[in-house]
A and B are shown apart, each in its own frame.
Chain A
Amino acid sequence: MNAIILAAGEGARMGPFTASEPKVMIPVANRPILEYVVSALVGVNLRDITMVVGYRRERIMNHFADGKAFGAHIKYVTQAKQLGTAHALLAARGSSPEEVLVLPGDNIIDAGLLSDFLGRHEGTSVLLTESDEPERYGVAEVRGPNLVRLVEKPKQRISNLVSTGILAFPPSVFEEAAALGETGSHDLTDVLHELVQRGAVKAVLSGGTWIDAAYPWDLLKANAAALAGLHEVKAGTIEKGVTIRGKVGIGEGTVLRSGTYIQGPCIIGEGCDIGPSAVLLPATSLGKDVRVGAFTVIENSLVMDSAVLGHHSLLQSSVVGEGVRGAGNLTAAAGRASVEMEGEWHTVANLGGMIGEDAELGAGAVLEPGTLLESRVRVAAGARVRGRVPAGGMVM
């Protein structure tokens, strides 16, 4: 069996965080989402992997190269236009004479999820999981062990079974996808429905991790879940007077300055400079070369590489992009927020700020709950910001 990972999409609902990176490369607990998929495959000994890439593909190819560093053999095929999942699969036509396992590259999964599926699949099969919010996903109706249909974001309750998008197909799937493509349909769900019409598509319910992150605030939940499985590593320099509780990962070359208090699970990348007297609270990830100033408190947040958060800042349930610079006294406290994304309004119970890459925030800036700054936004010292600021915008 060969694995085909669909990783060509942009992920527009991620807002500023896919400005220079495809969604699959967004770091969660300091690893790109796609890396979780690759590890899960290697974990069940499926090492021959074809990645369908497109948007910002060089970012993916630079990271994974031939896959050797991850214990896999990775080939790449390019999908020039992102028309749909079946169309993406067709890009990998000819890559496998055997059965194929098709996986979306933008969900966090573990090997357990796949081993359950591989032990139980038969012919065309779809991997299902249960969800408390099925209305967000493709919901499955099953009869006995078979799939009857998938309904995308149903208005009426069908079941709590949702498709993970992970599918097993016989090699003939490429012909099916091609034939359907002729009729103008490019979605794998349509291929599944076609196969349901003609015979059985097996439904497999699996345990194991499956975390879908569609919107930036979903990254926080994903981050917290991924940190739960954190391995403790303590490299770097830990000065006297630093308190560390719970599971904490600390990268090479990082300095934790005196008086700093860390309550795990937290992960801190390489080359960071934290404190003195900084406070990191549970479910916080800091990328590489992040600087956190004195008396700054960060809780349940995801901070990407090279960000700087000056002294006396408060950051709760926030996502901070690469290279963001906060001068000091920045406040992004969490609260109930309404956020507009792709023309839809979402209410999020507990959200701070979402700050796109290379933003510059002057001293004393305040971001109200749910504020979204796109890339390269500049906020003047002492400014109060709410809502959404477009890329390159300036707030006085």
Chain B
Amino acid sequence: MCGIVGYVGQREALPLLLDSLKRLEYRGYDSAGVAVLENGGVVIQKNKGFIADLEGILRASPAVTGLAHTRWATHGKPSRENAHPFLDCSGKLALAHNGIIENYQELRERLKAEGHTFTSETDTESMVHLLEKHYQGDLRDAMRHALKEVHGTYAFVAVHKDEPHVVVAARNESPLVVGLGTDENFIASDVPALLKHTQRVLYLMDGEVVHLTPERVDVEDAEGHVVTREPQRITWNVEDAEKGGFDHFMLKEIYEAADAIHDTLLGRDIAQELNGLLRPVRAVKLVAMGTSYHAALVGKYLLENVARIPATAELASEYRYSTHPGDKPLVVLISQSGETADTLGAAREARRRGCPSVAISNVLGSSITREVDATLYTRAGIEIGVAATKTFIAQVTLLTLLAIHLGRESGALSPEAAHRLKEGLRSVPRAVTAVLNDAEAIREVAERYAQAHSMFVIGRGVNYPVAMEGALKVKEISYIHAEAYAAGELKHGPLALLTAETPVVAVAVKDATYEKTLSNIGEAAARGSPILAIGTVGDTELEKRVDDVIRVPATDPMLYPFPVSVALQLFAYHLARTRGCAIDKPRNLAKSVTVE
């Protein structure tokens, strides 16, 4: 996903473009660039990194026409060369693009043969030269002709130095919306970029080409017929727009869990992505911080149970103080952002020790990917809420795939068992959706527990780290002091803290640990603690033993972390909400911690 904005009017374009672009940062940020029409020429400035990184190098300009782009690489690495906008050979025409040009190879060969010079490997660049080829004094005509030769999904925005007060754009499948001002007009990938300047917008439809000047906006369809459409008035504010109808980013992102799993699974070939690395694997060390560390702990159980490979999980900040006797283990480094300082340090340490290493990250080309032998990407999309939700789910998805892969390699997992587990994994989005459909019940339960000062979260086996992650979510956003314990550990001390004022949240799903967890629940209940259980649908026995139940669908025992985590995320969210906390920006916390 990428974001584009365009401006034509009377005011200085550069600060306007930059400000609007920041409103699209949720669509991604790994490189950004601007193009403005200045002194009869096109001036392009771009940089790798956040929009702020671009801002840092930007030279002021009096230009009143321009466009800007923020990129989130899904294919092709983020770099200055691959950042948009692109210039044609003559340097007169600039273009930004969101989407994929399917036939760019063919266009590229043809245009090269016709003498055009390419400077990047992107699909977008072929469109710039195609526009150049068709340009005969009218950018709109050039766009219309060029589109006939382009297959794929796109939102294009272009400017030409010979038409200093014109922006031309076109879309197919990728979003584009026009903002109507007074003596100025805007265009952007999404409404939030426009709202500061206007509430009157015009949505473009597939195949349409739009011609913007400070005074006019003309829309035509693919055949060149004039399209008349009434502008719409947007009544919501900038934040609402980005949150897509949800009250908080965190809630939106919890609801994106099913998509995150699906997208992370789709078309996955772990063997190929590991690139023949590391065979045979005799031991695995999973290294991470925070939520990713909890994913690592889930991974430990998965690797040991599914792949029968000894696995340990370690906090990245502690990794350097540990040693590994015996074989050099495969080191798996997990970081959503790929920029976590502690985890980066551990990656370098792993290399120094000569261990093969694999990163699991959500950000293409992030720093950690340069420190390791291979990277597996979660495809959760950008996450804005500081409390990680869908990216945790996506990390566990990848770890399950990794465990299945290593289990097949070592022969510990039979083809039939692997098949069953994969089939279960493909059905996990449905289980997660079932939990989300039950959100109202979870909210009601959470409201009853929101006044607690302190609570315990317990689980066994693979659900122990899930309990830890649940406790972390509760701490992070609701500021309730929540501690996770392995259910069996409760009686070795912490039981002394249980009173009628300290609720216990118990993961008690129907797996091999069920009976034992029930007796631990009994121990806690005997101290008068209110008990909330996360249980399997249809388990009527559980209800008799506890005060409240949140239900999750039955799955393969090793796949319970998915629905249970989502249930705990929703529970934590509603606790925080009932308590009136700043959910998306909890105190003292930042999204990714880039200092050790």
Judge whether A198 is part of the interface by a CB distance below 8 angstroms: yes
Cβ contacts under 8 Å, B426 to chain A: 116, 129-130, 205-208
Q: Are B427 and A205 in contact (CB under 8 A)?
A: no
Cβ contacts under 8 Å, B263 to chain A: 145
Cβ contacts under 8 Å, B365 to chain A: none
**Which of A120, A197, A203, A207 lies in contact with B102, CB distance below 8 A?**
A197
Judge whether A146 is part of the interface by a CB distance below 8 angstroms: yes
Q: Are B267 and A207 in contact (CB under 8 A)?
A: no
Judge whether A160 is part of the interface by a CB distance below 8 angstroms: yes
CA distance A112 to B415 in the complex (A): 23
The stretch that binds A, out of B186-194, B298-306, B343-351, B428-436, is B428-436
Cβ contacts under 8 Å, B75 to chain A: 143-144
Cβ contacts under 8 Å, B258 to chain A: 119
Interface hub of A142, A199, A206 (most chain B Cβ within 10 A): A199
The stretch that binds A, out of B159-167, B416-424, B512-520, is B416-424
Closest Cβ of chain A: how far from B60's Cβ, in Å?
Answer: 37
- Considering only CB atoms, which chain B residue lies closest to A120 in the complex? B262
CA distance A132 to B151 in the complex (A): 33
CA distance A129 to B263 in the complex (A): 13
Judge whether B173 is part of the interface by a CB distance below 8 angstroms: yes
Closest Cβ of chain A: how far from B294's Cβ, in Å?
Answer: 25
Closest Cβ of chain A: how far from B174's Cβ, in Å?
Answer: 9
Q: Are B151 and A145 in contact (CB under 8 A)?
A: no
Q: Are A200 and B262 in contact (CB under 8 A)?
A: no
CA distance A144 to B201 in the complex (A): 30
Closest Cβ of chain A: how far from B260's Cβ, in Å?
Answer: 12
Q: Are A161 and B151 in contact (CB under 8 A)?
A: no
CA distance A112 to B419 in the complex (A): 17
Interface hub of B258, B267, B430 (most chain A Cβ within 10 A): B267
**Which of B100, B262, B265, B430 lies in contact with A146, CB distance below 8 A?**
B100
Q: Are B266 and A115 in contact (CB under 8 A)?
A: no
Judge whether A196 is part of the interface by a CB distance below 8 angstroms: yes
From 104 to 131 in chain A, residues with beta carbon under 8 angstroms from any chain B beta carbon are: 112, 115-116, 119-120, 128-130
**Which of A143, A198, A205 lies in contact with B151, CB distance below 8 A?**
A198
Binary contact readout B538-577 vs A (1 if CB under 8 angstroms, 0 otherwise): 0000000000000000000000000000000000000000
Closest Cβ of chain B: how far from A395's Cβ, in Å?
Answer: 37
- Considering only CB atoms, which chain A residue lies closest to B418 in the complex? A132
Cβ contacts under 8 Å, A53 to chain B: none
Judged by DSSP, the binding face of A is mixed
A side interface size, CB within 8 A: 31
Judge whether B55 is part of the interface by a CB distance below 8 angstroms: no
Closest Cβ of chain B: how far from A244's Cβ, in Å?
Answer: 25
Binary contact readout B168-204 vs A (1 if CB under 8 angstroms, 0 otherwise): 0000110000000000000000000000000000000
CA distance A82 to B419 in the complex (A): 35
Q: Are B102 and A196 in contact (CB under 8 A)?
A: yes
**Which of B153, B206, B269, B427 lies in contact with A207, CB distance below 8 A?**
B427
Closest Cβ of chain B: how far from A93's Cβ, in Å?
Answer: 24
Q: Are B430 and A207 in contact (CB under 8 A)?
A: yes
Q: Are A207 and B100 in contact (CB under 8 A)?
A: no
Given contacts A145-B263, A205-B262, A207-B423, contact A115 B430 (CB under 8 A): yes
Q: Are B428 and A207 in contact (CB under 8 A)?
A: yes
Given contacts A130-B422, A197-B151, A199-B173, contact A205 B100 (CB under 8 A): no
Q: Are B151 and A200 in contact (CB under 8 A)?
A: no
Judge whether A280 is part of the interface by a CB distance below 8 angstroms: no
CA distance A144 to B98 in the complex (A): 14
Q: Are B269 and A159 in contact (CB under 8 A)?
A: yes
- Considering only CB atoms, which chain B residue lies closest to A123 in the complex? B173
CA distance A268 to B206 in the complex (A): 56
From 120 to 174 in chain B, residues with beta carbon under 8 angstroms from any chain A beta carbon are: 151-153, 172-173
- Considering only CB atoms, which chain A residue lies closest to B154 in the complex? A199
Closest Cβ of chain A: how far from B515's Cβ, in Å?
Answer: 24
Judge whether A204 is part of the interface by a CB distance below 8 angstroms: yes
CA distance A148 to B74 in the complex (A): 15
Cβ contacts under 8 Å, A203 to chain B: 266-267
Cβ contacts under 8 Å, A204 to chain B: 262
Q: Are B422 and A116 in contact (CB under 8 A)?
A: no
Cβ contacts under 8 Å, A146 to chain B: 100, 153
Closest Cβ of chain B: how far from A69's Cβ, in Å?
Answer: 28
Binary contact readout B31-68 vs A (1 if CB under 8 angstroms, 0 otherwise): 00000000000000000000000000000000000000
CA distance A339 to B127 in the complex (A): 54
Cβ contacts under 8 Å, B429 to chain A: 116, 207
CA distance A120 to B424 in the complex (A): 18
- Considering only CB atoms, which chain A residue lies closest to B262 in the complex? A205
CA distance A204 to B425 in the complex (A): 14
Cβ contacts under 8 Å, A207 to chain B: 423-430
Cβ contacts under 8 Å, B74 to chain A: 144
CA distance A207 to B265 in the complex (A): 11
- Considering only CB atoms, which chain B residue lies closest to A147 in the complex? B267
Q: Are A143 and B100 in contact (CB under 8 A)?
A: yes
Cβ contacts under 8 Å, A196 to chain B: 102
CA distance A146 to B100 in the complex (A): 10
Q: Are A132 and B415 in contact (CB under 8 A)?
A: yes
- Considering only CB atoms, which chain A residue lies closest to B428 in the complex? A207
Closest Cβ of chain B: how far from A163's Cβ, in Å?
Answer: 13
Closest Cβ of chain A: how far from B382's Cβ, in Å?
Answer: 14
Cβ contacts under 8 Å, B422 to chain A: 130
**Which of A119, A130, A140, A199 lies in contact with B153, CB distance below 8 A?**
A199
Q: Are B433 and A205 in contact (CB under 8 A)?
A: no
Closest Cβ of chain A: how far from B148's Cβ, in Å?
Answer: 12
CA distance A142 to B379 in the complex (A): 14
Q: Are A205 and B265 in contact (CB under 8 A)?
A: yes
Cβ contacts under 8 Å, A116 to chain B: 426-427, 429-430
Closest Cβ of chain B: how far from A261's Cβ, in Å?
Answer: 26
Binary contact readout A166-208 vs B (1 if CB under 8 angstroms, 0 otherwise): 0000000000000000000000000000001111100111111
Cβ contacts under 8 Å, A142 to chain B: 266-267
Closest Cβ of chain B: how far from A394's Cβ, in Å?
Answer: 41
Closest Cβ of chain A: how far from B147's Cβ, in Å?
Answer: 11
Closest Cβ of chain A: how far from B337's Cβ, in Å?
Answer: 21
Interface hub of A116, A205, A207 (most chain B Cβ within 10 A): A207
Q: Are B427 and A112 in contact (CB under 8 A)?
A: yes
Cβ contacts under 8 Å, A119 to chain B: 258, 433
Closest Cβ of chain B: how far from A29's Cβ, in Å?
Answer: 19
Binary contact readout B256-272 vs A (1 if CB under 8 angstroms, 0 otherwise): 00110011011101000
Cβ contacts under 8 Å, B425 to chain A: 207
Given contacts A200-B173, A205-B262, A207-B428, contact A160 B269 (CB under 8 A): yes
CA distance A160 to B206 in the complex (A): 32
CA distance A256 to B426 in the complex (A): 41
Binary contact readout B516-543 vs A (1 if CB under 8 angstroms, 0 otherwise): 0000000000000000000000000000
CA distance A132 to B419 in the complex (A): 8
- Pairs A–B under 8 Å by Cβ, sample size 18: A116-B427, A116-B429, A116-B430, A128-B266, A130-B422, A132-B415, A132-B419, A144-B74, A161-B266, A197-B103, A197-B151, A199-B151, A203-B267, A204-B262, A205-B265, A205-B267, A206-B426, A207-B424
Q: Assuming A142-B267, A206-B426, A207-B428, what are 19 further A-B pairs, CB within 8 angstroms?
A: A112-B430, A116-B429, A120-B259, A120-B262, A129-B426, A144-B74, A144-B75, A145-B263, A159-B267, A161-B267, A198-B151, A199-B151, A199-B172, A200-B153, A204-B262, A205-B262, A207-B427, A207-B430, A208-B426
6 residue pairs, one from A and one from B, having the closest CB atoms: A207-B427, A207-B426, A142-B267, A205-B266, A197-B151, A200-B153
